[in-house]
Structure 1
Amino acid sequence: MPVYYGIRLELHPDVYEPAEDTFLLAETVDVKPGEMALDVGTGTGLIALLMARKAKRVLGVDVNPKAVELAMKNALLNGIGNVEFRLSDLFENVSGRFDVITFNAPYLPGEPKKAIDLALVGGKTGREVIDRFIREVSGYLTENGRVYLVQSSITGIEETLNLFRRVGLRAEVVAKRHFFFEDIVLIKASRPW
């Protein structure tokens, strides 16, 4: 059973296994004690479980029912009780506001065929899921809340930064790793004041 950052994880072939993009998020996200956090596209639950070390409560959501089930198992396996997982297409089953919202977004162009594809394929252009997330996210952010979005250079980083600005959030690339034919970037967005 693999261990990431001290968290033991069961894996499942239909659920995205933590990889470089996950690690970039894990190593950069900043959660302060007592904050409320939301992990969109939680997968195995790793990011939610890591945030639960400091956060008061964490909600992890995923559109893949197998991911939700696996994340719940991983929370039990690690004895982490201040986290909840539920099935949700982005914010569909989410209410309230959060200090930290993370999303390791699907960004490959195409149509999902299998459950695992939901973690990778972001629609016809690869941007559909990212764009919908950005348009909706500010409604779930506290006044001083932060958004951490992982994406690839394949899907247009400038477009993402510009869309964040259009919805009233200040955004910047705070971490980047280069792999083969792409850069994986972590974009942090918050209210401009």
Structure 2
Amino acid sequence: MPEFIINTDDNVYVPAEDSYLLADNLEIEHGMSVLEIGTGSGIVAMYASRLTDNITVTDINFDACELARKNFQANNIENIEILFGNLFEPLENRKFDVILFNTPYLPTEEGEVIDDTLNYAFDGGLNGRKVIDLFLNELKSHLNDGGIVQMIQSSLSDNEETLAKLDELGFMAEIKASEHFFFEDITLINAYKV
């Protein structure tokens, strides 16, 4: 895959193994509409821009929106719409063919929360599911029939619960890829709306 110029910012998640696990396994065909929630530096969206022209990204961190804009410009990528806001909030009733999300999946105790916008990138609440469950609850109304969700989470935030919730929502879901790190598996879950 092509390499990109990536600027970083202390207030924005720096692309890491989880970012590339998603970027390397994108299931996007030309002409599909793509939404990435929590774009951060914009790295995943930049890989997606090589596959389709219709991409929208959101982030709750305004610094991330600005950094993504800077990175898209540095790489001459002009086909990505950037929206500031939490999860699906800035999208109203729009639907997409593909939804991507490298979730904030780390279980976080009160004393581990950092007083900084970077906290949004990893803080999954006490059980690691605070944001994942909010995302899953709204997912169906923003995905076209036949669409796919590709989301990254951790074994620490209960993959089985995510698969069960997706099943309840009528998706066909599977763990598509995973990588083992010290004390957890980072997993890519693919879910198809049938």
TM-score (norm 1): 0.94
RMSD: 1.2
Amino acid at match of 1:147: V
Q: Distance in 2 between matches of 1:5 and 1:148?
A: 21
Q: Is the 8 A contact 1:72 1:84 kept in 2?
A: no
Q: Distance in 2 between matches of 1:108 and 1:33?
A: 33
Partner residue in 1 for 2:61: 64
Amino acid at match of 2:70: K
Match of 1:13 among 10, 13, 34: 10
Q: Is the 8 A contact 2:107 2:156 kept in 1?
A: no
- SS for the counterpart of 2:174 is strand
Amino acid at match of 1:122: G
Give a deviation string over 1:26-77, Cα, whole Å, max 9, x none.
1111110111100101000011111111212111111000000000111111
2:61 corresponds to 1:74: no
Amino acid at match of 1:34: G
Partner residue in 2 for 1:162: 164
Structure 1 segments (4+ residues) deviating >6 Å: none
Deviates more, 1:119-128 or 1:107-116: 107-116
Give a deviation string over 1:107-163, Cα, whole Å, max 9, x none.
112354311110001123210100110111111111121000100000101000001
2:167 corresponds to 1:150: no
Matched residues, number:
189
TM-score (norm 2): 0.94
Partner residue in 2 for 1:101: 99
Give a deviation string over 1:82-128, Cα, whole Å, max 9, x none.
10111110000014111111000001123543111100011232101
Gaps of 5+ in 2: none
Partner residue in 2 for 1:173: 175
Q: Is the 8 A contact 1:153 1:182 kept in 2?
A: yes
- SS for the counterpart of 1:173 is strand
Partner residue in 1 for 2:26: 29
Gaps of 5+ in 1: none
Q: Distance in 2 between matches of 1:122 and 1:190?
A: 24
